[in-house]
Amino acid sequence: MQANKHICIITQSHLCRNPRVVKEARLLSRYYNVTIINNTYDAALSIEDEELIAGYNVKLISISQLQNKNIISFTDRLIKKMADWLVKFTGIQTHLALGYGADRFVSAALKLNADAYMGHQELGLYCGCRLLDDGKRVGFDFEDWYSADLLPDAISYRPVKLLRRLEKKALQKGICNITTSNILAVELAGVCNCPEPTVVYNVFNKRDDLLQANKTYEQPLKLFWFSQTIGRGRGLEQFIKLSTAVNHSLEIHLLGNVDADFRSELIGITPAQHQLFFHGPVPDKQLADKIAGFDIGLALELATPPSRDLTITNKFFQYIQAGLPVIASNTRGQTEAFKKFKPGIMLSQHYSEYDGIQLSAWLSNQAELIAARERAIEAAQYYHWENQANQLLSAASRLLEAPFNQTKHAC
């Protein structure tokens, strides 16, 4: 590997809100110069971002700093709002609706003149496709299937047709593409008539210090779920209603930002025998220790939109690294990760009386919970970043070695 080579990662969010970008940047920085281009919206989160790359050979360039109350941030917000309006009411598929400062992303990326680029998220997808037109070496990380990752209320103001065109171009012409599950790789290849992207599971560093040898499960069991936002369409309402079938008391802990209406809705449907707790977001570096303080992880997902059915939630991988048994939704992506070790119980998409009976019996069985924990610890020895790092390094090497103006995948 050549230390003088320069790789630019393009994403549109805070680093502390995208652990996959952080893992990739840290790993690649051991062998190459790395620059990340992103957007920001919160000063405190920007401090977290800088802490995550401190001591690594990684430079961060923030294009649109929305936390700054100035003419630039005001203009960026106004342009994005107008672009959303155009998509919703005229059907115009403008790239300006994909995120803030889209054209400045392209300009900044070209100015860097990096040896290779890796596009993440929707702005990374757009910017990467523009860079392909300039003959740059570009790969794409399909963390999600962007055009198929929208809930019904979001589709009206999102440029879905544009996203589909960009995805097809990226998958057909991107030099080296990666994604997060085998089933998603197969689906993307089938829809876009392209080679299957390389799979790099969205796993985390091994944390053997969290996998204590012995643990008992006392009542009430503490169930845990987390995300940036506690919101609808994630399976929470359905699970809380299903928990009515569990007669003994449970504590259901949810971590993330939540609006008052949804908080009240969840409290209102929580069975009387259970308790519901809300936790505010914690810094990324504290999350693993926070997870380890609970008994069971909730890896809940609905099978719609399609991207949710095909990806594997980060939660699953983070729970097992903390030694937690997992209650997982039966999506195609999660089945792919779950079936090898079965570190818990999997619930069907459309809950039935049988699901309630099975869940109650499993939660009441100390021996089953201990066995599930042992399988979670076993899974943690397989699903960890050290095992996946070589896949990414190999992809980066092929990307950097490809000739300019390449029109087919090198991997």
For residue 194, what is the DSSP state?
A: S
Are the C-beta atoms of residues 36 and 16 closer than 8 Å to each other?
no
Query: H or E segment at 395?
Result: helix 385-401
| Rounded CA separation 38/406 (Å) | 26
Q: What angle do CA 193, 174, 64 make, to 5 degrees?
A: 125
Q: Which residue has the tokens 């993307």?
A: 188
Q: Which of 295, 151, 311 is nearest to 329 (CA)?
A: 311
Query: What is residue 73's predicted lDDT score, i.e. its pLDDT?
Result: 96
Query: How far lies 372's CA from each of 208, 323, 330, 375, 383, in Å?
Result: 17, 9, 17, 5, 16
> Residues 143-147: contacts with CB within 8 Å, 24+ apart?
143/18, 143/20, 143/179, 143/180, 143/202, 143/311, 144/180, 144/307, 144/311, 145/184, 145/187, 145/188, 145/306, 145/307, 145/310, 145/311, 146/121, 146/122, 146/307
Domain ranges, ordered by start, for the chain = 6-202+386-401, 208-380
Cα 105 from chain centre: 22
Query: How far lies 104's CA from each of 7, 99, 310, in Å?
Result: 18, 11, 32
Query: What is residue 405's predicted lDDT score, i.e. its pLDDT?
Result: 60
Query: What is residue 120's predicted lDDT score, i.e. its pLDDT?
Result: 97
14: CB partners within 8 A, 6+ apart: 38, 40, 41, 42, 45, 46, 48, 49
The CATH classification of domain 6-202+386-401, taken from the options 3.40.50.11900, 3.30.2000.10, 3.40.50.2000, 1.20.120.450: 3.40.50.2000
Q: Which residues pair with 348 in a beta bridge?
A: none
Q: Which of 344, 264, 341, 359 is nearest to 296 (CA)?
A: 344
81: CB partners within 8 A, 6+ apart: none
Query: How far lies 1's CA from each of 4, 5, 6, 31, in Å?
Result: 9, 9, 11, 6
Q: Hey, do 6-202+386-401 and 208-380 end up sharing a CATH topology, with the first three levels equal?
A: yes
| Rounded CA separation 154/170 (Å) | 23
| Rounded CA separation 150/114 (Å) | 32
| Rounded CA separation 338/44 (Å) | 36
Which of the residues in the chain have pLDDT under 70?
1-3, 212-213, 405-411
| Rounded CA separation 349/341 (Å) | 20
**What's the predicted TM-score (pTM) here?**
0.92
CATH 1.10.10.10 fits 208-380, yes or no: no
Helix (H, G, I), strand (E, B) or coil at 93: coil
Amino acid found at 37: I
Query: How far lies 306's CA from each of 264, 299, 310, in Å?
Result: 29, 17, 6
| Rounded CA separation 336/279 (Å) | 30
The Cβ of residue 267 has, within 10 Å, a number of other Cβ atoms equal to 11
Query: What is residue 2's predicted lDDT score, i.e. its pLDDT?
Result: 63
Query: How far lies 391's CA from each of 18, 56, 59, 66, 316, in Å?
Result: 19, 20, 23, 35, 20
Query: How far lies 240's CA from each of 107, 121, 246, in Å?
Result: 47, 31, 10
Name the token pair of 166: 């960009």
| Rounded CA separation 220/270 (Å) | 15
Dihedral, CA of residue 403, residue 409, residue 410 and residue 411, to nearest 10: 160
